Structure 1
Amino acid sequence: MSAAVSRRATVVTVVTAVHAPSARFLPEAYASLCEQRLPDGWEWRWLVQEDGYGDEVRPYVPDDARVSFRQGRAGGPGVARTIALARAEGPYVRILDADDRLPPGALARDLAVLEGDPAVGWATSRVLDLLPDGSTAGFPGDPQEGPIERGAVLDHWTANDFRAPVHPASLFVRRELLLALGGWMALPASEDTGLLLALNAVSRGWFSAATGLLYRKWKGQVTGQAAHTDPVERGARMAVVEARARALADFGWQYPPGR
């Protein structure tokens, strides 16, 4: 049954790119959204954007007035997420990949951080791998809960074989800041890492030690394909991601302006 939508609520927009192989996980992502409890006066809207045209995704999209589904030319998840921003409402955007899930309380925690400190442009959180048998595994080396200063992500990333200290799939970001940076990078992969580094080049962030995402590991995921680790392509991706972040830092533009 379709859920009612309040016209007076302030919106957190959740953006999901999906393609046919990952569509079967959408009901679990939706169930995790329905478990979220936001403060009075806040609601979420879910923008599901198919990367391409076909008949395999739509049957998995829930019948809910809070959910908007569109299709578009295939260009990868970054293109799908960015085109979905045309439908975004409210001051904040949360990323949720089609095959991932939000633990209870994840949206409310991120919202509290950004509502509580206007100088913080984005938030990330602890991520657990969701393994095929249903068990979970953590990432080693999570930072302590608290602010992430400008440039800290790039410093760590370059010193640790292009591995960021926080996970870009858990990003919760101010919508205007996301739009000002052009959304996700036009790359075949690492487009979310490129966004993370760009955000950190111009604004402070926040890391929450509480688990904010269950990151599904499965045979068909894009990051598990051989092309993702091709050394020539990976080197090119990393080069342009780093160059963008350094250029933004060198230009001196920052969020909030004038701070």
Structure 2
Amino acid sequence: MRAAVRRHVIIVTAVHGPSARFLPEAYTSLCEQELPDGWTWRWVVQEDGTGDAVAPYIPDDARVTFRQGRPGGPGVARTIALAHADGPYVKVLDADDRLTPGALARDLAALEGGPGIGWTTSGVLDLLPDGSTAGFPGDPEAGPIERGALLDSWRTNDFRAPVHPASLCVRRDLLLALGGWMALPASEDTGLLLALNAVSRGWFTAEAGLLYRKWSGQVTGHASHVDPAERAARMAVAESRARALAASTWTYAPNQPA
């Protein structure tokens, strides 16, 4: 009798030297995941640059692929990592973050079970330097996020999405159809989230699926991230792309099951 074909959830992680030391914790959170029968995960770690700082933190595990490339920011690193993503679903996991137990199984349940669902997000907890956690106010109700529901909320709330893009899990073919992450110096994940919502229904799981680490070296903590002129330009491009996609009337219709 032939063995059953195992299907993969591809975990994509962009990493640079300062965040490499957190990779063992990210890996532990992956190893603690319990997936439905017939499913497994593969982890693609893409360094944003070349050098010797990251490789020592890569686990010796056949499920892990490590690549390096010229620097271009986390969006570029994640997008080029898709060359090694051979499963139907792609899950984002930043190098300094951790999944909570059951996060992948909940993502799969939504993507496999929800009618026309192209992507999922979940509740997120800030992981503070002292090890404590803090939640985000204003999460939406659990369940489907209808096409186009995020953009106006994002704009009226100082360009803050009601769901966290770092918790994204998405169908690989939809991600590729949109060109991966946006070519922006920051907010590339928010831009992708808005584009996804412009063409596809999503899903929000209220249970926290991600511990989002707060630390002094994270990119979003740099002064350049909040430079008013650059931030305004990033938001304008992200919004224009989402509105152009919505106006195109193209709607993603996934096959069920994957």
The two structures have a TM-score, normalised by structure 1, of 0.96
Q: Distance in 2 between matches of 1:205 and 1:232?
A: 31
Provide the identity percentage: 79
For the 8 Å contact 2:119–2:203, the answer to whether it is kept is yes
Alignment correspondent of 1:163: 160
Alignment correspondent of 2:248: 251
Matched residue of 1:173: which SS? strand
CA shift digits 1:128-173 (9 cap, x unpaired): 0000000000000000101101111101001111010000000010
Q: Distance in 2 between matches of 1:206 and 1:22?
A: 29
Q: Distance in 2 between matches of 1:240 and 1:55?
A: 35
- Number of residue pairs matched by the alignment: 253
In the TM superposition, structure 1's runs of 4+ consecutive aligned residues that sit over 6 Å from their partners are: none
**Aligned-partner residue type, residue 70 of structure 2:** R
For the 8 Å contact 2:4–2:38, the answer to whether it is kept is no
CA shift digits 1:48-105 (9 cap, x unpaired): 0000001000000000000000000100000000000000011100000000000000
Alignment of 1:79 onto 2:76: yes
Matched residue of 1:176: which SS? helix
**Which of the numbers 150, 154, 173 marks the counterpart of 1:153?**
150
Shift of 1:117: 2.4
CA shift digits 1:21-65 (9 cap, x unpaired): 000000000000000000111000000000000100000000000
Alignment correspondent of 2:177: 180
Alignment correspondent of 1:199: 196
Matched residue of 1:237: which SS? helix
Q: Distance in 1 between matches of 2:128 and 2:4?
A: 39
**Which of the numbers 88, 101, 106 marks the counterpart of 1:91?**
88
Alignment of 1:131 onto 2:124: no
Q: Distance in 2 between matches of 1:117 and 1:142?
A: 20
Shift of 1:19: 0.1
Alignment correspondent of 2:140: 143
Query: Which runs of structure 2 are paired with 1:11-26 in the superposition (5 Å)?
Result: 11-26=8-23
CA shift digits 1:88-129 (9 cap, x unpaired): 011100000000000000000010111112400000000000
For the 8 Å contact 2:166–2:189, the answer to whether it is kept is yes
Alignment of 1:231 onto 2:228: yes
Q: Distance in 1 between matches of 2:5 and 2:247?
A: 41
Distance change >3 Å, CA 165–CA 81, structure 1 → 2: same
Alignment correspondent of 2:187: 190
**Aligned-partner residue type, residue 55 of structure 1:** D
**Aligned-partner residue type, residue 253 of structure 1:** W
Matched residue of 1:49: which SS? strand
**Aligned-partner residue type, residue 69 of structure 1:** F
For the 8 Å contact 2:140–2:162, the answer to whether it is kept is yes
**Which of the numbers 44, 52, 56 marks the counterpart of 1:55?**
52
Q: Distance in 2 between matches of 1:118 and 1:79?
A: 31
**Aligned-partner residue type, residue 247 of structure 1:** A
The two structures have a TM-score, normalised by structure 2, of 0.96
Shift of 1:7: 8.8
Q: Distance in 1 between matches of 2:4 and 2:113?
A: 24
